């Protein structure tokens, strides 16, 4: 149900107290006025702490710097007279005992009157004693048709036009921004060269990065890595390549649903994060990185509000990739955390969204410790597939050395015996192989020469891989995958070279 439909229904059903969390005051107030006009020309009264009530000359300034008077004003209007009362930033006063009591009294009185009080706030902050009387309605960011209409209005005002494809690209790039930010960045483009041009998509993307940074929850992550930068993991790469066109309109016409996401479980340094970046680059989709720790705030209700904000921004930017790194650390020991149930509520909101989302947000979550994840996370329907990413075998180590050396020394690649390097680095992860090459480069650089295979072998002899320092943890993880509990990312036995030798 759209916001307009839901708000119209609440007006007709005489819901007395409506709470709308949004940063877009101007846009939501315009929408409310339109719906109030459609409901028999209901008058709309607007109040804020600085100026009091506005718009009506008889009551101008009433309730200035007095939030309790703002509520008493509602009772001054005859009981049979309709009205919608918009109170801006009113969340700041809800902890006051007089305000809370007055709202609860009004919720009983207004049930029989054609009046509605709308509280506008940039976030949800509702005290426990008001949860039963306030109805929260989400106000979404502007959708593609609304954005397109606004851009066409600006184009008409400037007397220029854009081709259909460029206009669609511009509309797509604007998704996820508030209408005020869209107007601001397009005004900047017009001020720069007198018109909106195709190149202004870059300006919009920069504004989008700025917006996402300001949420302090999501990061707009540049994705330059390619599928070819991943050494090994052939099963996973085949799975991804088959779904390369799954977000297109052609896929919708074929009847394919949007892919939901992947859970990549495995040993640290084996390419899970690299895979998330490569997916975004290969599918030409924006990559959003979520630090789950940022969802948790100190104020009551703030964590849940941040979770909803994260979901709203991600869905507004769809189609996109939402990358959640080390999700196991955020939700480990879920039942034992002494945080008054905040973690459980955030987790519940998140997994419900994973299961029920219809927007094309492809979630790539990575985890190092599968035992730390709640069982609900692993249930089918949350993700399309769970892949285990283990330590690379000898053939995959050859591919990883080849990827790195082709980047570092593309003209001297033949000088390195990659077969020997792969053989001499058993149980090395991709990250440890990369660090080995960096150490070898330091050896060569310190002696004013290029690094060679002996430097690489010397560097490898000095590195103690994680497979030797965390033997038991890695063995448990590999045996979990070997039992068939996840799909293998590689065409190999998930047990490491060392463990396989011990079993023989």
For 88, the 3-state DSSP assignment is: strand
Confirm if 428 and 436 have CB atoms less than 8 A apart: yes
Closest residue by Cα to residue 490 from 253, 162, 311, 235: 235
82 and 149 part of one domain: no
Quick: pLDDT tens for 261-289: 999 998 888 888 889 889 988 887 888 99
Helix axes 144-158, 164-174, angle to 10 degrees: 120
Confirm if 398 and 504 have CB atoms less than 8 A apart: no
Domain boundary (136, 167, 196) is at: 136
Please report the pLDDT score of residue 337 as a whole number. 55
Q: Which residues of 194-207 are buried (b: 16+ CB within 10 A; e: fewer)?
A: eebbeebbebbeeb
CATH code for the domain of 53: 3.40.50
Span 111-134, average pLDDT: 92
292 and 435 part of one domain: no
Please report the pLDDT score of residue 496 as a whole number. 52
Strands (E), 201-332: 218-221, 261-266, 287-290, 320-324
Residue 452 has pLDDT above 70, yes or no: yes
Quick: pLDDT tens for 388-427: 998 898 999 999 999 999 999 999 888 899 999 999 999 8
Quick: pLDDT tens for 465-489: 888 888 888 888 888 888 888 889 8
155 and 193 part of one domain: yes
209 and 354 part of one domain: no
In a domain, 198, yes or no: yes
Overall number of domains in the chain: 4
Rounded to an integer, what distance in angstroms lies between the CA atom of residue 332 and that of residue 356?
Answer: 23
Between the two ends of the chain, the Cα-to-Cα distance in Å is 61
Rounded to an integer, what distance in angstroms lies between the CA atom of residue 101 and that of residue 68?
Answer: 10
Q: Which residue has the higher pLDDT, 375 or 48?
A: 48
In a domain, 221, yes or no: no
Write the burial class of residue 302 (CB in 10 Å: 0-12 exposed, 13-18 middle, 19+ buried). Answer: middle
Rounded to an integer, what distance in angstroms lies between the CA atom of residue 235 and that of residue 45?
Answer: 61
Give the best-scoring range by mean pLDDT among 22-31, 153-162, 197-206, 218-227: 22-31
233 and 380 part of one domain: yes
Quick: pLDDT tens for 284-327: 788 899 888 778 765 556 787 788 888 888 887 788 899 998 88
pLDDT band at 503 (very low <50, low <70, confident <90, very high): very low
Number of C-alpha atoms within 13 angstroms, CB side, residue 112?
5
Residue 89 has pLDDT above 80, yes or no: yes
Q: Which residue has the higher pLDDT, 468 or 120?
A: 120
Closest residue by Cα to residue 377 from 498, 227, 265: 265
Domain boundary (136, 165, 193) is at: 136
165 and 207 part of one domain: yes
Structure-token pair, residue 481: 């995958």
- Domain of residue 269 covers 227-389
131 and 32 part of one domain: yes
CATH code for the domain of 287: 3.40.50.300
In a domain, 502, yes or no: no
Rounded to an integer, what distance in angstroms lies between the CA atom of residue 277 and that of residue 283?
Answer: 10
Closest residue by Cα to residue 87 from 63, 120, 64, 57: 120
420 and 325 part of one domain: no
249 and 385 part of one domain: yes
């Amino acid at each position: 149900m759209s916001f307009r439909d839901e708000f119209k229904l609440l007006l007709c059903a005489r819901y007395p107290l409506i709470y709308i969390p949004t940063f877009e005051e101007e846009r939501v107030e315009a929408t409310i006025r339109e719906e109030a006009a459609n409901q028999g020309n209901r008058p709309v009264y607007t109040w804020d702490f600085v100026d009091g009530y506005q718009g009506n000359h008889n009551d101008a300034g009433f309730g200035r710097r007095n939030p309790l008077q703002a509520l008493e004003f509602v009772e001054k209007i005859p009981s049979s007279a309709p009205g919608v009362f918009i109170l801006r930033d009113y969340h700041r006063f809800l902890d006051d005992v007089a305000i809370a009591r007055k709202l609860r009294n009004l919720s009983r009185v207004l049930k029989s009157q054609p009046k509605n009080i709308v509280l506008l706030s940039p976030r949800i902050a509702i005290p426990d004693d008001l949860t039963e009387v306030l109805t929260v309605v989400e106000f979404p960011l502007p959708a593609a048709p609304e954005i397109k209409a606004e851009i066409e209005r600006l184009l008409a005002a400037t007397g220029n036009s854009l081709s259909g494809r460029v206009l669609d690209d511009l509309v797509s790039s604007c998704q996820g921004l508030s209408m005020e930010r869209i107007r601001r960045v397009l005004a900047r483009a017009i001020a720069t060269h007198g018109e909106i041009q195709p190149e202004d998509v870059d300006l919009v993307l920069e504004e989008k990065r700025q917006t996402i940074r300001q949420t302090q929850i999501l990061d707009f992550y540049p994705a330059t890595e390619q599928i070819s930068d991943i050494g090994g993991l052939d099963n996973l790469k085949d799975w991804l390549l088959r779904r390369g066109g799954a977000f297109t309109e052609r896929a919708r016409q074929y009847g394919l649903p949007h892919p939901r996401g992947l859970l990549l479980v495995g040993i640290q340094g084996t390419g899970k994060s690299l895979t998330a970046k490569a997916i975004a680059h290969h599918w030409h989709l924006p990559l959003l990185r979520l630090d789950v720790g940022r969802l948790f705030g100190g104020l009551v209700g703030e964590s849940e509000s941040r979770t909803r904000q994260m979901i709203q921004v991600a869905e507004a930017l769809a189609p996109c990739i939402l990358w959640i790194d080390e999700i196991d650390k955020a939700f480990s020991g879920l039942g034992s955390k002494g945080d008054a149930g905040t973690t459980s509520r955030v987790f519940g909101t998140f997994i419900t969204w994973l299961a029920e989302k219809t927007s094309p947000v492809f979630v790539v979550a990575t985890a190092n410790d599968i035992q730390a994840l709640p069982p609900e996370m692993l249930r089918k329907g949350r993700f399309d597939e769970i892949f285990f990413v283990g330590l690379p075998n000898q053939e995959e180590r050859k591919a990883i050395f080849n990827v790195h050396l082709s980047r570092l020394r593309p003209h001297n690649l033949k000088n390195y015996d990659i077969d020997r390097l792969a053989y001499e680095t058993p149980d090395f992860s991709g990250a440890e192989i990369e660090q080995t090459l960096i150490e070898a480069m330091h050896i060569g650089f310190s002696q004013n020469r290029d690094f060679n295979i002996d430097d690489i072998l010397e560097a490898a002899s000095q590195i103690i891989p994680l497979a030797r320092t965390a033997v038991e943890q890695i063995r448990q993880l590999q045996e979990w995958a070997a039992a068939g509990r996840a799909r293998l990312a590689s065409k190999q036995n998930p047990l490491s070279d060392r463990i396989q030798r011990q079993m023989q």
